[in-house]
Amino acid sequence: MPLPHGHRDWLPLVFDGHDQARAVDGAEVLVHYPDAVEPEWIHCPPGLGRARVPLIRPENPIAIRLPDRPGVWVHIEEAAA
């Protein structure tokens, strides 16, 4: 999923659906950066409907890859203006 432009230190995600695996084990999110050879794996804690994924590189990510599980959707929660 491509990311909106703009600098961010955290990527707030909202998970929804019947995701039993996430409730027990958590979820991995792959964060893609422009000059990186490999994406960075970030683990989201289990049992939470919302996760703040820390972005620790100075450059902005260009895309994220989310868990591929049936019945689960995830969206990027935009900050309130």
Question: How confident is the model over 48-55, as a mean pLDDT?
Answer: 72
CA dist 58 → 9, 34, 47, 55, 67 (Å): 9, 11, 29, 8, 25
Residue 41 DSSP label: E
Residue % of the chain over a pLDDT of 90 = 0
- The pLDDT mean for the chain works out to 69
71: exposed, middle or buried (Cβ count in 10 Å: 0-12, 13-18, 19+): exposed
Q: What pLDDT, on the 0 to 100 scale, is given for residue 19?
A: 56
- Residue 80 pLDDT class (50, 70, 90 cuts): very low
Residue % of the chain over a pLDDT of 70 = 53
- Closest to 40 (Cα-Cα) out of 28, 50, 52: 28
Q: Residue 60 — φ and ψ, nearest 5°?
A: -80, 145
